[in-house]
């Protein structure tokens, strides 16, 4: 699950870089915000999965 969100984050950051290359400031900020949001979701989904495994008794 985390890998999917990280791929989405990379795609959004690539979109932000392309928008900056084209000179579109609005699209740059939209893609950058979406990328940061996807990175935040990836981080929290990983922490949630780790906590669920910990409370089930599985160590890693």
Q: What is the pLDDT of residue 57?
A: 65
Per-position pLDDT tens, the chain of length 60: 567 777 888 888 888 898 888 888 888 899 988 888 888 887 777 677 767 777 776 554
3-state secondary structure of 45: helix
CA distances from 48 to 13, 39, 56, 58 (A): 24, 14, 12, 14
Q: What is the pLDDT of residue 39?
A: 80
Residue 30: closest CA among 44, 43, 42, 19 = 19
Q: What is the pLDDT of residue 11?
A: 87
């Amino acid at each position: 699950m985390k890998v999917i969100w990280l791929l989405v984050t990379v795609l959004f950051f690539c979109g932000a870089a392309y928008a900056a290359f084209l000179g579109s400031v609005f699209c740059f900020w939209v893609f950058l915000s979406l990328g940061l949001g996807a990175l935040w979701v990836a981080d929290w989904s990983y922490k949630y999965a780790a906590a669920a495994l910990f409370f089930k008794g599985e160590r890693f």
